[in-house]
Structures are given as structure tokens and as C-alpha cells.
Amino acid sequence: MRSHQRGVTLISLMVGLVISMIALLGVLTVYKNAIRNVFGSSGMVPSAAQDGQLSSGLLTAQMVLQDAGFGVGAVAAASSSSAASSATSTAATTSAAATSANNLALLSGATFDGASQQLSGTVNAISAAASAGNVLLWESNPNLASASASYACMGLFSDSATNALYLLKATNACHPIASSWNNVTWSKSTLIAAGSVAQAVSFAVKNAVDCWPFGAIPKTISGIAPPSAAVQATLSYQNSTVGSSNSYAICLSNFSS
């Protein structure tokens, strides 16, 4: 007997259409979530960009901070022992190694005036108790000049308004930085771009500490007492992980106190 061909019913078509729509919605939802996780405001791409900015900026900050206080007073100590040094040359040089009281300055609530290229803010005393701020300035003597007028000054400025981090460099005489910082004009270079991180970097400084510089080996291993620094700077920041709180300490080994 001959069988008759039978088509699909309207109900079966509608059921198939509904199933297809549900499957399509599921695929679109997965795609949307994937795009948000990769390119969204807290996705992998923006997070990678943020952490990259932080890593690069903080690495540069760490490197320039290692020069803080370098050479300050070194040439003066040598020249003071020479019979040929005159009273004039002695006055033009410093008589002691770098100290946090004279050759280092920590400011809180600081702002940078782009027109005058000068800083304003409140000076925080550096003591055994950590002091916090958003600008850290220091002197160095990279050319081992005998005159303090030739000292170079640099700094880090964390802008709390934009969360940017800048490297500052003095364009005029700056010694002693602890008392002359507000008369110095500064050029600035961007280390962390404005708006690229969720929270501004902050600084904390204290002295009278026993800070071990990078690479110091414990005495129990080497048999030799490791070098230590009397001044320590701490940089605090937040990376792409929501609610994270990170910090690392830098030993300013060129300062005596």
C-alpha cells in the first residue's frame, strides 16, 4: 500500500522556532559576557592597561629614588681635609651627608601650577613615625660637584585630582630642597597617565629605621652584617583588582638620617 508523505505541523514549527530563539539568546548572552569580561570597564584589556601603567610608572619611580641623596656632602668632606680649601669654598659646599631634614621634602595636599611651574602644599616633618603625602622631593649630586648650587633636584608628584603620577625635575637652583622647594620651578614628565588608574599613588617616609636595601643578604647566610639605610620611602597604590591595597618600601641608602 502506498504511504502518503506528511509535513510538519504549525505547532511543531513554533516549538522549533522557540527552541532556536532560546538557543540564540543563550549564545548572545555568552558573547555579551565575553565582550564585557575582555573589553568592559573592569575587563581584561583595561585591567592589563592599568597594571601596565602602574608597573612602568612605579618601576621608574623606584629607579630614580635610588639616586636620592647621592653625592651630597661627599666632595665637601674631601675638600675640608685639604689645606688648600679656603673659607669661601668651604661655605659653598655642604659639610655632611644627605639628611631627611635638609635634602628631602615630603608635601601633603600638594598641587602643581602649570603657569608658574611651581608647587604648593604643606610640608610634613620626616621622623621615626611615618608621614604621608603626595609629593616627594630630593637632592642629589650626580656630577660630584663641590658647590651645592650645582646639586640637582627631582621629585615625584601624585595628582589626587586625576590620579596621574609625574616625575619632576628642578630647572633652577634648589638647595636646600627642604626650605626652598616652593621657590623652585619644575618640569614634569608623565609616569602614569591621568585617569588610567582608579586611585592615586601615595607616599610615606620615615627615618631612624633599619631598612635593608635591595639585594642585601641576611647575616645568617653571608656571615657579614648587611648594609642598612636610615630612611625609608613607601609607595602605596591600587591595581586592577577591586579593593586591592598594595605597597612596597624603598631604602634611601644615601641618607644618613
Q: Which residue has the cell 568592559?
A: 40
Mean pLDDT for the chain overall? 82
> Residue 124's pLDDT is what?
95
Cα–Cα distance for residue pair 257/241, rounded to 1 Å:
36
User: ∠ CA 256-110-164 to the nearest 5 degrees?
Assistant: 100
Note whether residue 11 is domain-resident: no
- The answer to whether residue 39 sits within a structural domain is no
Could you tell me how far CA 46 lies from the centroid of its own chain?
20
Report the number of distinct structural domains present in the chain: 1
Task: Return the pLDDT at 221.
Answer: 79
Q: Give helix 10-39 / helix 44-65 axis angle, nearest 10°.
A: 10
CA distance 182 to 179: 8
Residue 12 in any domain: the answer is no
Q: Give CA–CA dist 168/68, Å, rounded.
A: 13
- The reply to whether 138 falls in a domain is yes
Phi and psi at 73, nearest 5°, equal 85, -10
Which grid coordinates are listed for 16?
Answer: 522549533
Give the containing element (helix H, strand E) for 169.
strand 165-170
Nearest to 165 by CA among 131, 130, 117, 197: 197
**Which stretches of the chain score pLDDT less than 50?**
76-95
pLDDT in the model for residue 78 = 42
- Sequence-distant (6+) residues with CB within 8 A of 154 are 64, 67, 68, 137, 138, 140, 167, 168, 169, 170
pLDDT of residue 37: 66
Would residue 147 count as lying in a domain?
yes
Say if 24 falls within a structural domain.
Answer: no
**Alpha carbons 55 and 53: distance in angstroms, whole number:** 6
Please report the pLDDT score of residue 74 as a whole number: 63
Report CA dihedral (197, 185, 187, 238) to the nearest 10 degrees.
Answer: -20
Amino acid at 135: V
> Within a domain: residue 107?
yes
Q: Which ranges of 40-145 does DSSP label H, i.e. alpha helix?
A: 44-65, 74-80, 87-91
pLDDT at 228: 79
Asked, for residue 42, whether it belongs to a domain, the answer is no
Q: Do strands 135-140 and 131-133 pair parallel, antiparallel, or not at all (unpaired)?
A: unpaired
What pLDDT, on the 0 to 100 scale, is given for residue 25?
A: 85
Residue-number span of the structural domain to which 72 is assigned: 49-251
Phi, psi of 107 (to 5 degrees): -115, 145
